[in-house]
Amino acid sequence: MTEISLNILDVAQNSISAGAKLIEISVIADIKKDILTVEIKDNGCGMDDEKLKNVVDPFFTTRTTRKIGLGIPFFKLAAENTGGSFNITSQLGLGTTVTAVFGLSHIDRMPLGDINFTIHSLITLNPSIDFFYLYKIDERCFTLDTREFREILGDIPFNSPEVSAYINDYLNENKQVVDSGTVI
């Protein structure tokens, strides 16, 4: 995994496996505090305390309700290697929240990478799941909410070429407004 956005894609797959109907992803850079916070929150089946204790163990995996193997340990290590932190909270039946904090300017921090394609593929490949995405740098931010899209589109699917292209443009144009093309 060479990009934070690939880790986000990977962690979101766990939310999908957990039967989430809504997945909220946020990428927040605070330049003054020099931190980059990434959060993936779902309303899937959640985990009990026993399972939660084990998810950061690379040799623990459960293939009955959720698949957890190397993905979470990778993500945790990537954050901690930059002087950041990693946290995962979960409640059975309610959902799971994964939070990773990175040292923004730390030399070992992997780049955010193609976050827009991660978000775009999650939305178009999982048309029955709703996504809320927040991209924020200091005081500037934009959000994408598929529930709003759905309200406008009715039964027109997200993976139809026109809508897919719109989502792509929406992400690219708004990201540009927020970060002016700065590579995070």
Q: Which sign does the torsion angle of CA 168, 106, 70, 66 carry?
A: negative
Q: Which residues contact 63 (CB under 8 A, 6 or more apart)?
A: none
In the shown chain, the binding pattern of residues 69 to 108 toward other proteins, with x for contact by CB under 8 A and - for none, equals xxx--x----------------------------------
What's the rounded Cα separation, in Å, for the pair 2 and 5? 9
Strand intervals (E) in the chain: 22-30, 35-42, 85-91, 95-103, 130-137, 140-145
Task: Pick the closer one to other proteins by CB: 92 or 125.
Answer: 125
Neighbours of 160 (CB within 10 A): 13
What's the rounded Cα separation, in Å, for the pair 93 and 91? 6
Q: Does 177 bind other proteins (CB under 8 A)?
A: yes
What's the rounded Cα separation, in Å, for the pair 158 and 101? 31
Of 33-72, binders to other proteins (CB under 8 A) are 67, 69-71
Q: Does 161 bind other proteins (CB under 8 A)?
A: yes
What's the rounded Cα separation, in Å, for the pair 60 and 134? 31
Beta carbons of 74 and 7 less than 8 angstroms apart: yes
Q: Does 1 bind other proteins (CB under 8 A)?
A: yes
Task: Pick the closer one to other proteins by CB: 89 or 172.
Answer: 172
Q: Does 181 bind other proteins (CB under 8 A)?
A: no
Q: Does 118 bind other proteins (CB under 8 A)?
A: yes
Closest CB 124 distance from other proteins, rounded Å: 8
Closest CB 45 distance from other proteins, rounded Å: 16
Closest CB 34 distance from other proteins, rounded Å: 27
Binding site for other proteins (CB under 8 A): 1, 6, 9-10, 13, 17, 67, 69-71, 74, 114, 117-118, 121, 124-126, 142, 148-149, 152-154, 156-157, 159-166, 169-170, 173-174, 177
